[in-house]
Amino acid sequence: MCVMSTQTTSSAHHRNVARRSDICIVGNGAIAKTAALGLSQAGHSVTLLVPPARPDAQAASGGEKPWDVRVYALNHTAHTLLSSLKVWGALDMARVAPVDAMDVQGDGEQGGHLGFDAFGAHAGALAWIVEDSNLNQALDAALRFAQNVETVTGRACRIVSSADDVEVELEDGTVLAAQLLVGADGRDSWVRGQCDIGIDYRSYHQRAIVANFSCEKPHHNVAYQWFTCKDGVIALLPLPGNQVSLVWSAPDTLADTIMGESLGELAIRLGEYADSKLGLLKPLQPESVKAIPLALVRPHAVTAPRVALVGDAAHAVHPLAGHGMNLGFGDIIALLDTVAARDAHQGIGDERVLARYARARKEDVLLMQLATDGLERLFGANLEPVRVVRNLGLNLLDKLPLVKRRLIAHAMGR
């Protein structure tokens, strides 16, 4: 747990503090790196603590890069933040696809339908599909030029908080001291666990099957989504050219079957839904597929003494809305704003500053948790009356332009 230290100020100076900064960030993903850039560009010194590279991690090889199966549908909130940090312009835009429209289909032969498009939303695009590797490479390039960021590699073993600072002790005895510790270390956050922050956990008994395919027909930058009962939620997201990225939230038993088959067999399975829209699907070469367990994680708090959680460490939601990463970018914006707006006499890790951060994120995160969890429960119910009602609901919503505009504006982060 987070230990409230009884160290005196003088005794703290005798500890082996290898690095003292305004903010220490634990994590190695896009959210951690973006937080480091944002806080450093705001004038704060930042230590970014990343774990040692896995032994099986391979360096990028020359030639054309294969398409990453991990992609994000980044909304306007993400676009604005990354642009302000000079990261968006560093992306390989030849590998970024705009989402100009969404086509949502209910289940059954008389399944409901809901459509959104950028024109109706008065926007150039609803979102942008960006590979995890593309985003991280742009962030890494920006971090190399960041003046106030030092990256430290190591494994943390203990957190000690005091009235003056927070210290992260590494396994080798190194101590990193800061005014504020930011936990950006994912759904199974070590920082959250050390701070003894409890969670509400609900397994969806599903796994997100991710893979990439070429499609016979042009996708016209449309993101397709099918809400089914027996097969879960299937999304095919546009990639540049006649290519799509699959995110299939499949029940565990079906996921086991899919992962035991070839990608060619998976393409045939998808044909039941996608043939009329996209034609024949073929796996992109080299073939790659991953399965990611899905769960709802709701921490009982997103702050502790001198600690703030961001990204999946602060909330993990079902991917059916594609907004997990966008929620994380919203966290960073809120943290930047609350730190910048603090009173002159308040430190970065002041409990009142952290309380304002928690309040700033509460409503947006709660709405997304309720929406994604509620939709998963609604479309997972295998009862004919429920099936009829949800399909009617989709059709009715499709005929209410004012409501649709409100929904899509919220999803876009406006």
DSSP annotation string for 395-407: HHHHT-HHHHHHH
CATH 3.50.50.60 fits domain 3-54+135-199+298-374: yes
Q: At what angle do helices 401-412 and 384-398 cross, to 10 degrees?
A: 90
For the chain, the farthest-separated pair of C-alpha atoms sits apart, in whole angstroms, at 73
The CATH H-level (homologous superfamily) assignment of domain 71-131+201-294+380-412 is D-Amino Acid Oxidase, subunit A, domain 2 (3.30.9.10)
Residues of CATH 3.30.9.10 domain(s) within the chain? 71-131+201-294+380-412
How much is the pLDDT for 15? 59
The residues, any chain, with a CB within 8 Å of residue 405's CB and separated by 6 or more, are: 120, 121
Q: What is the pLDDT along the chain (414 residues), one digit of tens a residue?
A: 444 343 433 334 445 677 899 999 999 999 999 999 999 999 999 999 999 987 755 555 556 789 999 999 999 999 999 999 999 999 999 999 999 999 988 876 667 778 888 887 778 899 999 999 999 999 999 999 998 999 999 999 999 988 889 999 999 999 999 999 999 999 999 999 999 999 999 999 999 999 999 999 999 999 999 988 889 999 999 999 999 999 999 999 999 999 999 999 999 999 999 999 999 999 999 999 999 999 999 999 999 999 999 999 999 998 887 788 999 999 999 999 999 999 989 999 999 999 999 999 999 999 888 888 877 776 666 655 555 666 666 666 666 666 666 666 666 666
pTM: 0.90
How much is the pLDDT for 87? 98
Residues of CATH 3.50.50.60 domain(s) within the chain? 3-54+135-199+298-374
The answer for 102, left when phi > 0, alpha when psi is -120 to 50, beta otherwise, is beta
Separation CA 154–CA 55 (nearest Å): 14
